[in-house]
Structure 1
Amino acid sequence: MTTLTVALSGDCMATRGALITSDPAAERLRGLLRGADFAFTNLEVVPSDGRGHPVHNAAGGGGLIADAGVLDEITEAGFSVLGCANNHALDMGVDGVLGTLDLLDARRIAYAGIGTDLPAARRPRYVDRPGGGLALIACSSTFLPGQEAAAPSPELPGRPGLNPLRHGATLAVTGAQMEVLREIDARTGLRARRAEARTLLGIDPALPSPERLTLYGARFQVAEEPGLTTVCDRTDLDEIARWVAEARGRADVVLVSVHSHEPGPTPEEPGEFLRAFAHRMVDEGADAVVGHGPHFLRGIELYRGRPIFYSLGNIVSQIELADRVPAEDYANIGAAPGTVAPGRYFAELSGHGSRLFAPHRRYWRSLVPVLTFDDGTLVGVRLHPVGLGFGEPVHRRGRPRLAGPAEAEEILADVARLAEPYGTTVKAGDAGSGELLLDGG
C-alpha cells in the first residue's frame, strides 16, 4: 500500500525572512510541512527582481511586492507546491508575471495558475514523489480586468496572466421593483444614452427581455422574492473542469486551488458560484478543493467524500513589512513618494493598528489540514490550528506556529461551527489538533 500526505494552507504573503522562527511551536510546524509529501500554499505576493511596473489599484488594496528571495524563504519553511492565481499575481503587470515564472522555474518550484498565455495558466502542474504524483490546478475569481491570461489567435500571441474563474451576480427583484428600476433608467437619461447601441445592435443591450434589466453594471431579474445569487462563467467552469478530468487519469492526487474574496449571504459564507464550482471540480475528479482569499477561515464541506475548504485564511502575513510601495499607494495616504518611508505608510494605512487587519483576531488564526491517501483513497484529514501572533509587534507577527492548547481549542471550535451548516463534523483530537470525520458527508 502506498501512502501520500498533502499539507494545505491558505495565503502566503511573505515579504521578509525567517518565516519559521526559533519558537518550538514554529519548528514543529516546519516539521509538519516538510514531513508531508506535498505542502501547498497560495503565493500572494510578487517576488520581484525588478522586472515589470506597478499596476494601479491592485484588486484587494494596493501592491504586494517583495524581493525575489522570499521564494527561498517559502521553500525553506517547507512549502513545496505553490498556487499563484490570485489578485496580487499581476501587481507588477504582465512583465512582472513573466518575471515570476522565470524565478519559479529557475528554482524548480512547482506552481500552477499563471502562465505565458491562457492555455499555460489553465494547465495542471504535475509533481512527482517516490510514493506517487500530485496534480495542481489553480485559479482565481478575484482579479482586475486584463489580469486574466488570454489565448493566442492565429495572428497574435496570447497574453500572460492568471487562470480566471469569472462569475456574474444577478439581483432578483419583484415586478413592482423592476418597474421602479425601469423608471429610473428612463428618467435619469441612461436609456437615451444607449441610442447608438440600439442602432448598431438592433436591440437595447440593457433590456434583453421584459423580465431582465442591466443597470449600473448590475443584472436584475424578475422573481417572486428579492435576493442575490452568483453564477460561474460557463466557459471558465467547463475549461477548468476539463483539465481536472484530464489530471484525474494522470496523478494519484488531484488538488484544485481557488482564490476568492467574494462573500455569500454573510462574509463567512462563500459566494454561491464558488460552492457550485467546488462541487463541479469534485464531480470531475478532484480529491480536494482548497480555497483562500478572504483572509479568515470559512467552512469545510465534505462532498462525495472529498473535502472542500472554502478558506484556510492566512499562513504568512507580512504585508506591513513590505518595503516596495508604489507611488499610487503612497498617494492613498496623501503622501508623495520619498516623503514617507514604507513603515510609516503602513502605519498610516492601518490607523496605527486600529483598522484593516491588525485589530481582528480571526485574521491571525489559520489551519493546516494534512490529508492522507492510501493508494489514492482519502483515509484521513488531520486539522492543525495555527497562530500568527495576534497582538504582537508588527515586525514579529505574521509568522506561523502551531497554536498553543487554549488557542487551538478556540480555533477548532470555530472551525466546527463553520463546518456545521455543511453537515461536516470536526472532532477535537489530542495535542491541539483536530480531525475531519470523513463519514460526515
Structure 2
Amino acid sequence: MSSPFTLVLTGQSLIHHDVRQVSDAGFTAIKALIRQADIAFTNFETTVFGRHGGWPMKGSYFGCSAPVVLDALKDIGFNALALSNNHAFDLGPPGVLSTLEEVAERGFLHAGIGVDATDARRPGVKTFGTRRVALVAMDAGPGPATMYAADATDRRPARPGVNGLDVSRRFDVDPKVFANLTGIQDIFQSSPMEQGNYAQPHDPPELQSADEIDFYGTIFCRSSTNRRRILVDEASLQNHLSAIRQAAAEGAFVIAYLHHHHWEPNWREVPAWVQSLARACVDAGAGVFVSHGAPVLQPVETYRGAPIFFGLGNFLFHLNEGEVVWSAPDVWKSMVATCRFDADARLQSIDFLPIIIGGEQLLGAKNYHERIIPVPASETLGAEMIKDLAARSRAHGVSIDVEGTDEIIGGRLRAEGSL
C-alpha cells in the first residue's frame, strides 16, 4: 500500500563547482529541507565532461562540468534530475553519453537525453519507498536541430542527444513590413540553392500559404497585427503525452518537465503555450508539471489538483568570472517548493522557502561568479518574495499565504479540500 509522500522541487542547477565543502548555516538548513523529502528534484543544467570526452559546440554560453558535481547534488539531497536543457549538448554526443553514464552510476531518477530519440523520449522510472515515480523530460529550444536525439534509419546512424518537443517560432507582421521583407528576399534569395545553403544544418521550413515567407530560416506571416507566436507541433506533443499516459496507466506518479527559452518580453510572465502544454500534461496523467529556462521565478498554478510550476528560476547558478549578462536581482531569487501528497497522490499543500543565491549582501555587487550557494532569504525580503509570488499566482487561481517562524519565513499554498 502506498503512503503519503513529499516532493521537493527547486530552480535549475547550473553547477560547475563541488559545493560539498562549503560551510554555511543557511545552506545547511536548505540541505536539511531537501534531504527530508521522499523525492527531491532539480534540472541538471550542464553536461558532464567524462570518459567519452567531447568538444565545445557553442561560443559564449558554453558550459560543462566534472562528474564530481553530481556527487555534490546528491549530497545536497537530490535524487531526481531532468537532463533536457540547452546545455545538455554543449559537448556533443560524447557529453550526452558521459552524462548518462555518470548519472546512472549514482542512482538518480533521470530522463531527457538518450542514445537516440527513442531512448531520449523514454520516461525515467524509479521506486522511492512504496511510490513508483516516472519522469518525462523534454526541451523546446530554441536550439540547433543537431542537439536533439535522432533514431537510426537505413541511411543515417542514430544521434545521441536531447529529447525535443518540436515547436516553431512565427512572426505575424503587417502588410507593409511583409512587403519590405519580401523585397529583401527577392533581391538576395532568388535562387532556391541560396535558401538551401543557408538552411543547413536545418531543413528549410515548410510554408503553408502565399501569406508566408521563409526569411533565412524564420517564418513571417502577413497579418493585420505584429506579434510573435510559438506553435507546438501536434505529432511531437502527442508523443510526449503518450509517454505520460502510459507511465500513469502503469501506476506511476508522473513528473512532467519542460525546459525552454521562448520567454515573454516580460520573462516573469507565463507564455500561453506553456500553460496549455502544462494542462495537457496533467490531463494525460501527470501529477506535477515543472519548467525551467527563464532564469526567474514565475507564477504557480494548480489544475485538476496537480501543482504547476511554470518557472522556479535558479537554485545553483555558477557563472564565469566577468560574466555580467545575468545582473538582474530576480535572477538570484528563487523558492524551494515542498509539495505534500496523501497516500492517493492528492496534493495537500505546498510550502515555499524563499532563497537568495549568494546571500542578500551580494545582491548589489557585481561579482556574480562568487555566488556559489543559496541561503534562506531574510524575514523582510522573504515576505516580499512570497507576496510577489502570491500576487502573480492569484491570476492563476491560487492563494499563497505568508507564514514562518522567528528564524525563517516562508509561504504556503493549501490545496482545495486539504486539511
Does the pair score TM above 0.5?
A: yes
**1:89 aligned partner:** 88
Query: In the comparison of the two structures, how many residue pairs are matched?
Result: 399
The 3-state SS of whatever aligns with 2:295 is: coil
1:37, distance to aligned residue in structure 2 (A): 0.4
Query: CA contact under 8 A between 1:52 and 1:94: conserved in structure 2?
Result: no
Query: CA contact under 8 A between 2:205 and 2:217: conserved in structure 1?
Result: no
**2:371 aligned partner:** 397
Query: CA contact under 8 A between 2:305 and 2:346: conserved in structure 1?
Result: no
Looking at structure 1, the residues matched to 205 and 19 of structure 2 have their Cα atoms a distance apart, in angstroms, of 54
The 3-state SS of whatever aligns with 2:48 is: strand
Looking at structure 1, the residues matched to 47 and 183 of structure 2 have their Cα atoms a distance apart, in angstroms, of 47
Using structure 1 for the length normalisation, give the TM-score.
Answer: 0.83
Give a deviation string over 1:25-45, Cα, whole Å, max 9, x none: 222211111111000010012
1:74, distance to aligned residue in structure 2 (A): 0.7
Using structure 2 for the length normalisation, give the TM-score.
Answer: 0.87
The 3-state SS of whatever aligns with 1:182 is: helix
Cα distance change of structure 1 residues 412 and 20 upon mapping to structure 2, 3 Å threshold: farther
1:364 matched to 2:332: yes
1:79 matched to 2:78: yes
Query: CA contact under 8 A between 1:20 and 1:77: conserved in structure 2?
Result: no
1:210, distance to aligned residue in structure 2 (A): 2.9
| Segment of structure 1 superposing worse, 249-258 or 153-162 | 153-162
1:422, distance to aligned residue in structure 2 (A): 2.3
Q: Tell me the amino acid that sits aligned with residue 301 of structure 2.
A: E
Query: CA contact under 8 A between 2:113 and 2:162: conserved in structure 1?
Result: yes
Looking at structure 2, the residues matched to 183 and 428 of structure 1 have their Cα atoms a distance apart, in angstroms, of 57
Aligned-residue identity in percent = 28
1:263, distance to aligned residue in structure 2 (A): 0.9
From 379, 382, 385, give the equivalent of 2:348: 379
Query: CA contact under 8 A between 2:319 and 2:369: conserved in structure 1?
Result: no
Looking at structure 2, the residues matched to 421 and 218 of structure 1 have their Cα atoms a distance apart, in angstroms, of 33
**1:267 aligned partner:** 267
Give a deviation string over 1:165-210, Cα, whole Å, max 9, x none: 1211222233454344434433x242x2238989xxxxx9886423
Looking at structure 2, the residues matched to 104 and 372 of structure 1 have their Cα atoms a distance apart, in angstroms, of 26
Q: Tell me the amino acid that sits aligned with residue 396 of structure 2.
A: Y
**1:33 aligned partner:** 34
**2:61 aligned partner:** 62
Looking at structure 2, the residues matched to 22 and 69 of structure 1 have their Cα atoms a distance apart, in angstroms, of 18
The 3-state SS of whatever aligns with 2:244 is: helix
Q: Which consecutive unaligned segments of at least 5 residues does structure 2 have?
A: 197-203
Matches within 5 A, 1:40-439: 40-49=41-50, 51-57=52-58, 61-142=60-141, 143-154=143-154, 157-186=157-186, 188-190=187-189, 192-194=190-192, 208-320=208-320, 346-347=321-322, 350=323, 355-357=324-326, 359-374=327-342, 375-390=344-359, 391-392=361-362, 396-431=370-405, 432-439=409-416
The 3-state SS of whatever aligns with 1:33 is: helix
| Segment of structure 1 superposing worse, 226-235 or 306-315 | 226-235
1:8, distance to aligned residue in structure 2 (A): 0.5
1:71, distance to aligned residue in structure 2 (A): 0.8
Query: CA contact under 8 A between 2:195 and 2:216: conserved in structure 1?
Result: no
Looking at structure 1, the residues matched to 284 and 97 of structure 2 have their Cα atoms a distance apart, in angstroms, of 30
Cα distance change of structure 1 residues 383 and 224 upon mapping to structure 2, 3 Å threshold: same
1:82, distance to aligned residue in structure 2 (A): 0.5
Query: CA contact under 8 A between 1:232 and 1:274: conserved in structure 2?
Result: no
| Segment of structure 1 superposing worse, 362-371 or 145-154 | 145-154
1:10, distance to aligned residue in structure 2 (A): 1.8
1:313, distance to aligned residue in structure 2 (A): 0.8
Give a deviation string over 1:257-306, Cα, whole Å, max 9, x none: 11112112422224443222212111111111111112111122222332
**2:201 aligned partner:** none
Cα distance change of structure 1 residues 384 and 197 upon mapping to structure 2, 3 Å threshold: closer
Cα distance change of structure 1 residues 136 and 208 upon mapping to structure 2, 3 Å threshold: closer
**1:326 aligned partner:** none
Cα distance change of structure 1 residues 208 and 372 upon mapping to structure 2, 3 Å threshold: closer
